[in-house]
Amino acid sequence: MSATAVALLSLGLMLLLIWGGLHVAVVLGLVSFVGVWIIRDDVGVAANLLAQASSDAIASHIFGVVPLFVLTGFLVAKADIGKDAFEVANQLFRRLRGGLGVATVASNAVFAAITGISIASAAVFTRVAVPQMMRFGYQPRFAVGVVAGSSVLGMLIPPSLLMILYGFLANQSVGELFTAGIVPGLLLAGAFTVGIVLAAYFKPDMVYAGGEMPVPDGPDMSAATMLLKLVPIVVMIGGVLGGLYGGLFTATEAGAVGAALALLIAVLRRKLSARTFWEVLTETGHVTVAVSFLIICASIYTRMLAMSGMPQFLMELIGQAGFGPFAFLLVYVAIVILLGTVIDSSSILLIVLPLMLPIAEQFGMNLIWFGVVTVVAVEIGLLTPPFGLSAYVVKSALNDPRITLGDIFRGTGPFTLIMVAVLLLLMAFPSLSLVLIE
């Protein structure tokens, strides 16, 4: 059996094992180990490769950025910063048609600029925004759709855990990836906002339970109260992103600053007991270990593919098919979106990037822009059935038997279409992603 055939079989076996329920990191490590063993016909070579990858893959200090940003996200959620962002946005947009939906998108964008974890956004705003929207007469399906749809901003607007993972796998600057995500993130948030307002004007039955915009009630929030709620948000964004883009510290140091600021805010607000803090640290450890294990096993997988000659084989195949760069990109995005219907975001990156990055480089593509396109395509998978992780998080956090998982997926449908339109725009105009770094 040729080395290329071994690599192809390993890819098919990998997908089957993941769909069967085996953890993706275990699958990557196991399949890669067996693949190298067969290719070299020497178990010793496979064992040495496994050992070398385990020691080299995450040896650099820059991997400290993972636990620091994860810790920041958990602390920010405990400090109720997301709730404050929603209350301020609600006050600003309450008299606009679809205003609570716009407020949810705006507050999700702000929350994303602090945490960078889509799942955290989905969990926080399900509890904060959905009950409010339903109380003010919004369709339940629309309410959960807005929350799940706008939660994807957490992985695009920097800081982003998915961009950090892409940076490690593609050997690209995490800081440049963060910068490249700003304009696309704001563009996506703007597209969501426009979509909500247009739906509220032209398809009110889709937005409002009664088909009419409800009259806002309750007292207006004073300017002083709004300012007080905004102070922690401004401090967090200014401290983390301002220092990072101002060149004061690296991405890893930005994560440390963010975690320190989030801890200080949570303590000052008396939102963090000793027990809660221990739970946050434990959860951070679990996520960090999971991500680190994934990176180690992805490193083994990458080396096995390089040894098999699979990237060169795929490049020759694409050349024979007459594909140009844009056709390749369309096929790549289609594969990523398809995988997103059955497996999670990190797993998609770990499986496809070792295969596709060498081809993208051969076509002379900018890997920072390629990363932004990849992240948006992967995030579409958070909204698509049957796996759509954001939909499951919303369902779990809401715990309302009146709203089914099918309702949530139907509610996210318009936002999925908006994401596809924005993705095509980013593919056609790379300058949208690169304008701030060129």
| Res 293: pLDDT | 78
- Mark 57-86 as b/e (b = at least 16 C-beta within 10 Å): bbeeebbbbbbbbbbbbbbbbbbbbbbbbb
Q: pLDDT confidence of 423, banded at 50, 70, 90?
A: very high
Please report, as a single letter, which amino acid is at residue 425: L
Q: How far apart are CA 436 and CA 395, in angstroms?
A: 37
Q: Which residue has the higher pLDDT, 293 or 281?
A: 281
274-308 and 43-56 helices cross at what angle (nearest 10)?
140
**What is the SS3 assignment for 138?**
strand
User: For all residues of the chain together, what is the average pLDDT?
Assistant: 82
Q: pLDDT confidence of 192, banded at 50, 70, 90?
A: very high
Q: How far apart are CA 328 and CA 355, in angstroms?
A: 13
DSSP state of 211: S
The dihedral sign for the CA sequence 217, 223, 224, 225: positive
| Res 358: pLDDT | 86
Q: What would the mean pLDDT of 109-135 be, rounded to a whole number?
A: 78
Query: For residues 24 and 294, is the Cβ–Cβ distance under 8 A?
Result: yes
Among the residue ranges 25-34, 35-44, 110-119, 424-433, the one predicted with the least confidence is 110-119
Q: Which residue has the higher pLDDT, 343 or 402?
A: 402
Q: What would the mean pLDDT of 266-277 be, rounded to a whole number?
A: 87
Distances (CA, A) of 46 to 53, 54, 104, 301: 11, 12, 50, 11
Query: For residues 297 and 32, is the Cβ–Cβ distance under 8 A?
Result: yes
Q: How many C-beta neighbours within 10 Å does residue 326 have?
A: 11
| Res 421: pLDDT | 95
pLDDT at 226 over 70: yes
Asked if the peptide bond before residue 325 counts as cis, ω within 30 degrees of 0, the response is no
Strand extents, DSSP E, 53-175: none
Please report, as a single letter, which amino acid is at residue 4: T
> The tokens of 338 are what?
């398809």
Among the residue ranges 113-122, 142-151, 354-363, 401-410, the one predicted with the least confidence is 113-122
Q: pLDDT confidence of 47, banded at 50, 70, 90?
A: confident
Distances (CA, A) of 155 to 165, 202, 209, 375: 11, 30, 31, 7
Q: pLDDT confidence of 278, banded at 50, 70, 90?
A: very high
HSE, side-chain direction, 13 A CA sphere, residue 408: 32
Q: Which residue has the higher pLDDT, 23 or 374?
A: 374
Question: Phi and psi of 267, rounded to 5°?
Answer: -70, -45
For residue 65, the cross-strand partners are none
| Res 216: pLDDT | 60
Among the residue ranges 19-23, 144-148, 160-164, 324-328, the one predicted with the least confidence is 19-23
> The tokens of 335 are what?
């594969």
| Res 30: pLDDT | 84
| Res 62: pLDDT | 64
Q: How far apart are CA 264 and CA 66, in angstroms?
A: 20
Q: Which residue has the higher pLDDT, 293 or 163?
A: 163
Distances (CA, A) of 236 to 36, 47, 75, 106, 366: 46, 45, 12, 16, 31
**What is the SS3 assignment for 215?**
coil
Query: For residues 421 and 192, is the Cβ–Cβ distance under 8 A?
Result: no
Query: For residues 93 and 100, is the Cβ–Cβ distance under 8 A?
Result: yes
Among the residue ranges 85-94, 95-104, 110-119, 429-438, the one predicted with the least confidence is 110-119
Q: What would the mean pLDDT of 154-180 be, rounded to a whole number?
A: 85
| Res 116: pLDDT | 67
CA-nearest of 414, 320, 330 to 377 is: 330
- Mark 263-273 as b/e (b = at least 16 C-beta within 10 Å): bebbeeeeebe
Question: Phi and psi of 270, rounded to 5°?
Answer: 60, 40
> The tokens of 265 are what?
């805010």
Q: What would the mean pLDDT of 159-168 be, rounded to a whole number?
A: 84
**What is the SS3 assignment for 309?**
coil
Asked if the peptide bond before residue 159 counts as cis, ω within 30 degrees of 0, the response is yes
Give this prediction's pTM: 0.79
pLDDT at 35 over 80: yes
Q: What would the mean pLDDT of 190-202 be, rounded to a whole number?
A: 91
pLDDT at 438 over 70: no
DSSP state of 387: T
For residue 138, the cross-strand partners are 208
pLDDT at 349 over 90: no
Query: For residues 355 and 405, is the Cβ–Cβ distance under 8 A?
Result: no
